[in-house]
Amino acid sequence: MKILITGACGYQGSLLIPKLLKKNHEIIAIDTQWFGNYLKKHKNLKNIKKNILDINKIDLKDVDTIIHLASIANDPMGDLVQNITWEYSCLGTMKLLNLAIEQNVKKIIYASSSSVYGLKKEKKVTENLSLKPISIYNKAKMITERIILSYSDKIDFTIIRPATVCGVSPRMRFDVSVNMMTYQALKNGKMTVFGGNQTRPNIHMDDLLDLYIFFLKKGKKFNGIFNAGFENLKIIEIAKRVQKIIPSKINIIKNNIDIRDYRVDSSKLLSLGYKPKKNINHAINEILIKYKKNINNVDKKSFSIKWLKQNYKRYFNIT
Ligand SMILES: NC(=O)c1ccc[n+]([C@@H]2O[C@H](COP(=O)([O-])OP(=O)(O)OC[C@H]3O[C@@H](n4cnc5c(N)ncnc54)[C@H](O)[C@@H]3O)[C@@H](O)[C@H]2O)c1
């Protein structure tokens, strides 16, 4: 199958593409490459450095499915470059869909986010509950979902609302909770926890990648919105899990709290027959194995927020 992947050089895309190539798929990878390019050359891979706003007909020729990962993928950056966050997410997706339909692409799989729920007291946060996104990033994700829904009569679609992802990747992210705490424990022997009582859902990278592949299937029951998070944990619980594997101290800070607090229920996804295989302990152990010898030598781009804050004017042509 010919698949176009946007945001292909990111944390998820850098691992998803080799997995799809192994399955003999033909891939067109599109990314602005803000965090570099970790994709190795392959006869079935066309790797294009490009903004999704500039995708054209030729990029989509004979493409069967789009896996759409391109996004400003964190809350602080969304707050810093608000217009660009809206533009890339909403306008970019609208342009992509218009071209996809024109070129007879059959399906789009979109990485939304479970953070669209914002603050939720319900024990079972299912897909039919109302959304209360808090940050610009969450709001842009919600509206992008709605843009995709508005094209649902013309193209098959799966919207996945992934929990926070954990695990290693060639394009590593240490700005996501499990990875960040594991990094702190390894580097400093100490983790900083803001608040700690906020609950957040988690998903292991390998499970999310399997899920994108699972949803290459077509058919009515694979269309729709699906939560994808399997461990709803308080931030302090994550810190304690890290502490058990990497002996370290936990420093709790009571102010400056990121108040997002939600748990997701993924029964709808599980009812399709999809089964996750890993948990956050796997991710902590995998990070430990990969980084215990070189934790002082981590690529600066792994701290997405810091990296983008230093480089966004150049990337976004802001003077
Ligand atoms: N990592 C998580 O915990 C998580 C959780 C839920 C949802 N998501 C979503 O999954 C997707 C992938 O996230 P990730 O963790 O791989 O993040 P990432 O930042 O590593 O990857 C995103 C990639 O998209 C590229 N990009 C951004 N805007 C672009 C544009 N306009 N045109 C072309 N390329 C562009 C960036 O260069 C980057 O390589 C994102 O949409 C993110 O919002 C991530």
Q: Which atom of ligand 1 is nearest to the CA of 171?
A: 20
Give the whole-angstrom CA distance, residue 169 versus residue 62. 29
Q: Set out the domains of the chain in order of their start, with CATH numbers.
A: 2-315 (3.40.50.720)
Q: What is the mean pLDDT of residues 53-72?
A: 96
Give the whole-angstrom CA distance, residue 19 versus residue 16. 5
| Residue 31 tokens, joined | 């990314």
Say yes or no: CB of residue 135 within 6 Å of ligand 1: no
Q: Which 3 state secondary structure label does DSSP give 81? A: coil
pLDDT tier for residue 120 given thresholds of 50, 70 and 90: confident
pLDDT tier for residue 43 given thresholds of 50, 70 and 90: very high
Q: What is the mean pLDDT of residues 273-281?
A: 97
Select the more confidently predicted residue: 259 or 192: 192
The answer on pLDDT for 256 being more than 70 is: no
Give the whole-angstrom CA distance, residue 278 versus residue 38. 24
Give the whole-angstrom CA distance, residue 152 versus residue 156. 6
The answer to pTM > 0.85 is yes
Mutation to probe ligand 1, out of 9, 12, 139, 205 (largest number of atoms < 8 A from CB): 12
Cβ contact 57:35 at 8 Å: no
Say yes or no: CB of residue 5 within 6 Å of ligand 1: no
Q: How far is the CA of 301 from the centre of ligand 1 (A)?
A: 13
Give the whole-angstrom CA distance, residue 224 versus residue 220. 8
Nearest CA to ligand 1 atom 1: 165
Say yes or no: CB of residue 12 within 6 Å of ligand 1: yes
Q: What is the mean pLDDT of residues 89-113?
A: 97
Q: Which of these, 37, 20, 305, lies nearest to 171 by C-alpha position? A: 37
Give the whole-angstrom CA distance, residue 183 versus residue 164. 16
Give the whole-angstrom CA distance, residue 3 versus residue 185. 39
Instruction: Note the pLDDT tens digit of each residue in 193-234.
Output: 998 888 989 999 999 999 999 999 999 999 999 999 999 999
Residues of the chain with pLDDT > 90, as a percent, come to 87
What pLDDT sits at residue 242? 98
Instruction: Note the pLDDT tens digit of each residue in 167-191.
Output: 999 999 999 999 999 999 999 999 9
Give the whole-angstrom CA distance, residue 227 versus residue 267. 8
Neighbours of 128 (CB within 10 A): 7
Instruction: Give the gyration radius of the chain's Cα atoms.
Output: 19
Say yes or no: CB of residue 92 within 6 Å of ligand 1: yes
Nearest CA to ligand 1 atom 43: 73
